Structure 1
Amino acid sequence: MTPVATPPDLRALTTLRFLAAAWVVLYTAWAYLDVGSVPVAVTKGYLGVEVFFVLSGFILSHVYLERAGAGGFSYGGFLWARIARVYPLHLVTLFAMVGLGIAATLAGVLVDASLTDWRALPAHLTMTHAWGLAPLAAFNHPSWSISAEWFAYLSFPAFAFVAWRLRDRPWLAVGLTALGALGVYAAFERLAGFPLTEATFRWGALRIVPCFALGCALYLVYRKAPLRRAALVALASAAGLLASASLALWDPVTVLFAGGLILGLGSLANERAGPLASAAGVYLGEISYSIYMVCAPVLLVMTNLAARALGADEKRFHVFVWLGILAAIPVAAMATYHLVERPARKALRGFAARKRPGQAGAPATADSPERVLQPSKTIV
């Protein structure tokens, strides 16, 4: 059997992970800023999660599709690699929020009751809390998207099966997937009464499906031949994404522009990617999963500390105080990345390699924010 080629280094997509995480953080943290208005693009920051979802489909296909189609794909090893990537930090942030809730309760401080709602704990522990199995949005709320990712990981062979059979007709795959996605978005909103792009704990597992499928289809275009005018496509897509978010167009329009941006940046050679391929950009992309996961607990702690220190009745702060609170998020993320995320991933992957030599799965780079690198350099 012909060896599967090593996936190339896609540095710009790693940096894009940070930009998507920063969009979500800005959306989450803006409520604590004492200003009279909110830019429309900020109110659409929840769509940063859609960027992650499309990226997941693209990069999982980038790393695993060839193996899944040509042979040599280990489903068990693949799932273990995904668990090693997302589960340790999920557990740490989950129990951090539990601890904060218990401490606040013992101290007599009024906090959101969901922090100590134990009914949701089993679903969080099994990463099924975005499958409609949790009674409410509890603990570390952003982790619903990790549950949705877990659903996509479990379903990856089905996505790969379809994608592999359309590998010689990539634009047909993109067209069919885009039309299907638009149909899902329209039908869901009509039936549920709210957009699928705003679903979390109840329908998060469904929310990832159209995005993940779009990412898989877009990868087929890249696989056949990276775009020749990649920079132009990336620039036009970025402009379209910003315009659609700023004008509050139908959310799926922004999702499609995000797909174009990912295809453009994925097709862009590293030497032409400028700051997006810089060491600083790639590092921020590497820690962006931590940024995303620590955002809620850091904001909970820092806003309460700031309100107490300033004697404020409301947790809305002057811009300089707010920026100081915001700066604590990447600092905490660097700590969790180097102390939890990276060493735990290495340990779990090493454990699998010792138990099943050669079966631990291909080095993976595609779930929540992480570096999109050649397997020899990957940090998963």
Structure 2
Amino acid sequence: MTTASLSAKPHYPILDGLRGVAALIVVTFHLSEPLGTGHLDILVNHGYLAVDFFFLLSGFVVSYAYDDRWPTMTVGTFLKRRFERLQPLVVLGMTLGAIGFYFTDSTIWPLIHTVPLWKLLLVLFIGYTVLPVPLSLDIRGWQEMHPLNSVGWSLFFEYLANILYALGLRKLSNTALALLVLIAALALAHLAITSPAGDVSGGWTLNAEQVRVGLTRTMYPFFAGLLLSRVAKPTRIKHAFLWCSLVLALVLYMPRLGGANQVWLNGIYEAVCIILVFPLVVYVGASGVLHTQAEGKLCKFLGDISYPLYLVHYPLVYFYVAWISNHKGVTLGQAWPYALLILLGAVALAYASLKWYDEPVRRWLRTKLG
């Protein structure tokens, strides 16, 4: 924890850094995913749990930043602030996906070259709103809410959680909020353990089953983060960034548990990680102190690029997935140089997007929206 001034709230730079660590692991997950044959053998097997970690961080930060401002802030003002923060990169990510769409034609998406321009533009404009694209407009064939930028589904649920918070759930007492979090935890554990695949992966398709997955993955971590922000009293923990980063890496890179015959074991693992481990990581991160100027700069850099990296990396991953699908039998040894190139390119694109687009647009929106 650091304090910029006596009048300013303490800032949590380690949490910023951890968000960046999780974003980097998400990219490695998406780069390893096409090399696997299914849920059981993906190299970065639990990388998708980073999204649940993001939701928890978001709930913590939203509560910390806004809970004490409601006496002088309206719902409209809150939603404007969240729009200013989230929406510019949503628009950029969808635009990049549209620009690259026709260039990712491959055996895995054989119908891309048949999609008329008007349909691409319609999907793009719907994507700008973050509203789910109906299955009738599934122009890629993966049954995704946002076929131009796969990660857009989580932003839809992020907005939904923010709206629920603003419209009334922020008013819950700590006791009532704890009860909501407990119910959400039970729902999450049930989903993870009883899922046919033995995991919580999902939420990106506009149908009843997948919307349930998305809501369940959002409700517990977001409102657990809210509760944690209200009740936790951070202390001073040394080397918190290092230890929390190692725990995150261990959790997200952990191989699949239980195999094909006992998938419920993996479900138990994921439920424990989301319900218990992630809140502990956030608490320790909020309690951590920075030891060197270099550590502070690293946390700031990782925090700065985390959201841009999450929103702009998948349009690059589409090219990588197309290349692998067009070269059957590609091994990890053959793919890793290209994967590394995509990873480094995504980081560079994220930083450029932050400095040349996101920050200027957010400043402009702040002046226009007030």
TM-score (norm. length: structure 2): 0.75
**1:221 aligned residue:** 231
**2:163 aligned residue:** 154
1:9 counterpart (1, 8, 11): 11
2:282 counterpart (262, 272, 277): 262
1:246 counterpart (254, 261, 272): 254
Instruction: Check conservation: 2:123, 2:137, Cα contact below 8 A.
Output: yes
CA deviations over 1:222-273 (Å, ceiling 9, x no partner): 3xx323557679948964983596264421211120111101111223x35x
- Cα 1:34–1:214 change in 2 (3 A) is closer
| Matching of residue 51 in structure 1 with residue 69 in structure 2 | no
Q: Distance in 1 between matches of 2:350 and 2:245?
A: 29
| Matching of residue 198 in structure 1 with residue 223 in structure 2 | no
| Matching of residue 139 in structure 1 with residue 143 in structure 2 | no
Instruction: Check conservation: 1:275, 1:281, Cα contact below 8 A.
Output: no
Contiguous gaps of at least 5 residues in structure 2: 1-6, 258-265
**1:287 aligned residue:** 305
Query: How far did residue 326 of structure 1 move?
Result: 2.1
2:358 counterpart (328, 341, 345): 341
Q: Distance in 1 between matches of 2:187 and 2:295?
A: 35
SS at match of 1:62: helix
Instruction: Check conservation: 1:234, 1:262, Cα contact below 8 A.
Output: no
Counting aligned pairs with the same residue, the percent is 22
Query: How far did residue 156 of structure 1 move?
Result: 1.5
Instruction: Check conservation: 1:234, 1:265, Cα contact below 8 A.
Output: no
TM-score (norm. length: structure 1): 0.73
| Matching of residue 330 in structure 1 with residue 347 in structure 2 | yes
Q: Distance in 2 between matches of 1:259 and 1:134?
A: 38
SS at match of 1:140: coil
User: How does 1:355-370 map onto structure 2 within 5 Å?
Assistant: none
- Give the partner amino acid of 2:254: S
Contiguous gaps of at least 5 residues in structure 1: 354-380
SS at match of 1:278: helix
Instruction: Check conservation: 1:226, 1:267, Cα contact below 8 A.
Output: yes
**1:128 aligned residue:** 131
- Give the partner amino acid of 1:14: D
Instruction: Check conservation: 1:93, 1:293, Cα contact below 8 A.
Output: yes
Q: Distance in 2 between matches of 1:132 and 1:189?
A: 25
Query: How far did residue 13 of structure 1 move?
Result: 0.4
Instruction: Check conservation: 2:191, 2:200, Cα contact below 8 A.
Output: yes
CA RMSD of aligned residues (A): 3.9
Q: Distance in 1 between matches of 2:282 and 2:272?
A: 14
- Give the partner amino acid of 1:181: A
Query: How far did residue 314 of structure 1 move?
Result: 5.6
Query: How far did residue 84 of structure 1 move?
Result: 1.4
2:20 counterpart (9, 18, 21): 18
Query: How far did residue 292 of structure 1 move?
Result: 0.9
User: How does 1:15-94 map onto structure 2 within 5 Å?
Assistant: 15-31=17-33, 42-68=44-70, 71-94=71-94
Query: How far did residue 186 of structure 1 move?
Result: 3.7
| Matching of residue 181 in structure 1 with residue 184 in structure 2 | yes
- Cα 1:315–1:142 change in 2 (3 A) is farther
- Cα 1:132–1:197 change in 2 (3 A) is farther
Instruction: Check conservation: 2:308, 2:351, Cα contact below 8 A.
Output: yes
Instruction: Check conservation: 1:94, 1:140, Cα contact below 8 A.
Output: yes
Instruction: Check conservation: 1:244, 1:254, Cα contact below 8 A.
Output: no
Instruction: Check conservation: 1:276, 1:282, Cα contact below 8 A.
Output: no
Q: Distance in 2 between matches of 1:38 and 1:319?
A: 20
